[in-house]
Amino acid sequence: MKIAVSYLASYYSKEKTISLINRTDADFIHVDLMDGGFVPRKNFLIEDVGRLFKNNEKSLDIHLMVFDPIIYINDLARIKPEYITFHIEATKEIVKTIEVIKAKGIKVGIAIKPATSILELMPYLSFIDMVLVMSVEPGEGGQTFIPSTLSKIEELKKIRENNNLSFLIEVDGGINKATIKDLNVDIVVSGSFVCKSKNYQEKINELKSK
């Protein structure tokens, strides 16, 4: 499983946290962007993101927790992310958003909140590169993994297999040394478990040796 590290909850500034993640062998930096509408907290200005990730070393995995994701894509494309993922609950223009992200040469993911059914994804699964299954309510780091996520992941894997689809499955929220043991997906996101520690690489090693 690949590891994406979210810098949302950390002892250090964003700048320092990002530079520490860049020095580990994590596969991605997971960039959580919130608009203060789709989720209560707002944590970014597009200029900040441009500054923080100018010439970034690791691949970027952007998780948009915003209404109207489409309006951010042009600006975000400048930091050359590998993935941009938006929430199915956040827009009515799902097909258009997929197309706009793909037209920039960026891989596209759709995220679902814990209460959203996998079935909502069905019309889009053959057009996207990734499904991000939220295992906590989006909005904050440091929450507890919701166990019912596990059956959702199994359901999604069956759909992928039965239909010969190739999207990746990513899980985000409450991942630590214990909760990762039950997971077998393509990418796991870990935030506070890694960044609320003094030695990021040690924590990543613990996740990798699950």
Cβ of 174: how many Cβ atoms within 10 Å? 23
Does residue 17 interact with ligand DX5 by CB under 6 A?
no
Does residue 63 interact with Zn ion by CB under 5 A?
yes
With a CB cutoff of 8 Å and minimum separation 6, the contacts of 46 are 72, 75, 76
Q: How many residues does the chain have?
A: 210
Closest CB to ligand DX5 among 24 and 158?
24
Query: Could you tell me which of 49, 86, 87, 91 has the C-alpha nearest to residue 68?
Result: 91
Give the integer Cα–Cα distance in Å for 145 and 180: 10
Give the integer Cα–Cα distance in Å for 54 and 68: 24
Residue whose C-beta lies closest to ligand DX5: 191
Question: Which two three-digit tokens encode residue 189?
Answer: 């996101």
Does residue 32 interact with Zn ion by CB under 5 A?
yes
Least separation in angstroms between CB 3 and ligand DX5: 11
**Among ligand DX5, Zn ion, none, what binds residue 174 when CB lies within 5 to 8 Å by partner kind?**
ligand DX5
Contact pattern from residue 186 through residue 205 relative to ligand DX5, giving x for each residue in contact according to CB under 6 A and a dash for the rest: ---xxxxx------------
Does residue 27 interact with Zn ion by CB under 5 A?
no
Does residue 10 interact with ligand DX5 by CB under 6 A?
no
Q: Of residues 75-134, which lie at the interface with ligand DX5 (CB under 6 A)? A: none
**Among ligand DX5, Zn ion, none, what binds residue 139 when CB lies within 5 to 8 Å by partner kind?**
ligand DX5
Give the integer Cα–Cα distance in Å for 38 and 34: 7
Question: Which two three-digit tokens encode residue 164?
Answer: 């010969």
- Phi, psi for 105 (deg, rounded to 5): 80, 20
Q: Is 25 a catalytic residue?
A: no
Tell me the residue type at 126.
Answer: S
| Identified binder of ligand DX5 from the candidate list 32, 61, 129, 170, rule CB under 6 A | 32
* Cα-Cα end-to-end distance for the chain: 10
Closest CB to Zn ion among 111 and 123?
111
**Among ligand DX5, Zn ion, none, what binds residue 152 when CB lies within 5 to 8 Å by partner kind?**
none
Cα 59 → chain centroid:
12
Q: Is 182 a catalytic residue?
A: no
Annotated catalytic residues are: 32, 172
| Residue ranges in contact with ligand DX5 by CB under 6 A | 6, 8-9, 30, 32, 63, 136, 138-143, 172-175, 189-193
